[in-house]
Amino acid sequence: MQPQPHSADQFGSQRDFWWHRDFLDLMATRWRLREATSLADIGCGQGHWSRLLYRYLRAPALLTGVDREPQWVTAVAHNFRRAFPHVAPDQFAFLVGDATQLPLPDNTFDVVTCQTLLMHLAQPKTALREMLRILRPGGLLICVEPNNLWNYLAFTSLTPAEPVETIVRRFEFWLRYHRGKMAAGQGDHTLGDLLPGYFAELGLTEIAVHQSDRTASLFPPYDSPEQQAILEQERTAKASASGQWNREAVRRSVLDGGGTEEFFERGFAELLEKFAQEQQAIRAGTFHAAGAGMHYLVSGRKPSGRD
């Protein structure tokens, strides 16, 4: 069986609900996107992020997407043609390439951006330097990255009944998982917290940090399109044993992060039980959760005159 492309389990319909349009209106004003006529989206995937930003650029704007997966490069080209049928095809270019060695020229783009890319890279600073290289002097770098570990601290309607020891052990379980992924060179899912410091280290100016105003809330009767998409993604991931339900991959990371076999077995069993209890409560119409997370939007400008 062919392996799934990177992030394949993250491109479900739930991703279409990541952003409020009025929030993006505000961010586009803060970023002065109406002044920009070119944008490069690095790790563009299917174009969820750049399709939203493209509408704010000054027409006729050029957009270039880069992704390491040929499947996504084909998909994003189709998605842009469908989303912008009146824009000339030569305004869009989509390339297969590595974020740490971009196939793009120096000092070219008004805006360079990525969304949930750096968190997957063993060398995020190398990718940032590459994005800075292709950015024109005075241009804007925008990176959107999370601290996913915080998601495991959020309470639900079931948490008050859980023993403190179980809650603490669950956080330790995912902390060791994240540490293990880092040790294996599989990225850092808490990278969002470090981005402003990386921007300062690289010499960017006008550094600004914001947080997304969107949550993944669930409450009865769970009938909005967004809530239905959230529930479907969770059930699909569990059924396909992908993401956090890939038992062997999670085990390997927990052990690489310093956990023992006994610790993993107990922690994974508790995750299965937690999922079952949540699904039972959802069927009963009693489960609810605000569903907040830590999702940073970090921006900064390349100093004028910098090569």
What DSSP string runs through 183-251? HTTS--TTGGGGHHHHHHHTT-EEEEEEE------B-TT--SHHHHHHHHHHHHHHHHT-GGG-HHHHH
Instruction: Tell me which residue range forms the domain holding 148.
Output: 8-301
pLDDT digits (tens, 9 = 90+) for 25-81: 999 999 999 999 999 999 999 999 999 999 999 999 999 999 999 999 999 999 999
| pLDDT for 2 beyond 70 | no
Distance set, CA 303 to CA 132, 158, 216, 278, 280 (Å): 10, 50, 37, 50, 55
pLDDT digits (tens, 9 = 90+) for 234-292: 999 999 998 889 999 999 999 999 999 999 999 999 999 999 999 999 999 999 999 98
pLDDT number for residue 12: 62
How do residues 184-238 score in pLDDT, each as one tens digit? 999 999 999 999 999 999 999 999 999 999 999 999 999 999 999 999 999 999 9
Q: Is residue 258 part of a domain?
A: yes
Is 1 inside any structural domain?
no
Given a contact cutoff of 8 angstroms between Cβ atoms, the answer to whether 151 and 78 are in contact is no
Total structural domains within the chain? 1
What is the per-residue pLDDT for 242?
87
Give the tens place of pLDDT for each residue, 125-183. Answer: 999 999 999 999 999 999 999 999 988 889 999 999 999 999 999 999 999 999 999 99
What's 129's DSSP letter? H
**Position 27 in a domain:** yes
* pTM of the shown model: 0.93
Q: Give the CATH number, domain containing residue 246.
A: 3.40.50.150
